[in-house]
A = this chain, B = another copy of it.
Amino acid sequence: MIFTYQRTVRFADTDAAGVVYFANILSMCHEAYEESLGHSGINIQNFFTHPFVAFPIVHTNVDFLRPMYCGDKLMISLIPQKIGMNKFEISYEITVNDVIVAKAITRHVCIDVNSRNKQELPDEMISWLEANRPDAESAERRRSREEII
């Protein structure tokens, strides 16, 4: 099952060009990540407020395909993937009325907060990564949508 988060575009997200300010898309993707973690039973307050282990973002990229307007109902789906003992990557797809408006990636590395040294992903993150692995069918659906773009 691909986790999907609904998010209405707010006035604060927009800029004087009348559309969503580009960097704000990444905050919305991060919200989808937070919601997905909470959905899998992780305590969000402990996870994000002065934790011992953290997952800072070391790379991100976004492709903006269409403008987003205040009031738009975005659907943000995310697919995380383990890419090493201490790393994972999340792919986001943002749609409005089933049309893709943006795609993004965030790559995270697991660190000990005090030393800032890399460390192995803890069990709760391994579980989250496995629970959100796309099944064969939904991966196929996503791929075929790719080809249409």
Tell me whether A70 and B49 are in contact (CB under 8 A).
Answer: yes
Interface of A is mostly: mixed
Q: How many copies of this chain?
A: 4
Contact of A16 among B22, B50, B61, B106 (CB under 8 A): B50
- Contact A70 to B56, CB < 8 A, known contacts A10-B27, A16-B16, A31-B12: no
Residues of B close to A63: CB separation below 8 A = 58-59
A122 at the interface (CB under 8 A from B): no
Name, among A15, A43, A63, A64, the residue most crowded by chain B CB atoms within 10 Å (CB to CB). A15
Tell me whether A61 and B64 are in contact (CB under 8 A).
Answer: no
A40 at the interface (CB under 8 A from B): no
- Contact A30 to B10, CB < 8 A, known contacts A19-B16, A23-B23, A43-B71: yes
Contact of A45 among B49, B50, B72 (CB under 8 A): B72
Tell me whether A30 and B12 are in contact (CB under 8 A).
Answer: yes
Residues of B close to A26: CB separation below 8 A = 22-23, 26
> What count of chain A residues pass the 8 Å CB interface test?
47
A24 at the interface (CB under 8 A from B): yes
Within A14-52, the residues touching B (CB, 8 Å) are 14-19, 21-24, 26-27, 30-31, 34-35, 38, 43-45, 47-50
- Contact A48 to B12, CB < 8 A, known contacts A43-B71, A61-B60, A67-B56: no
Within A64-114, the residues touching B (CB, 8 Å) are 64-65, 67, 69-72, 106, 113
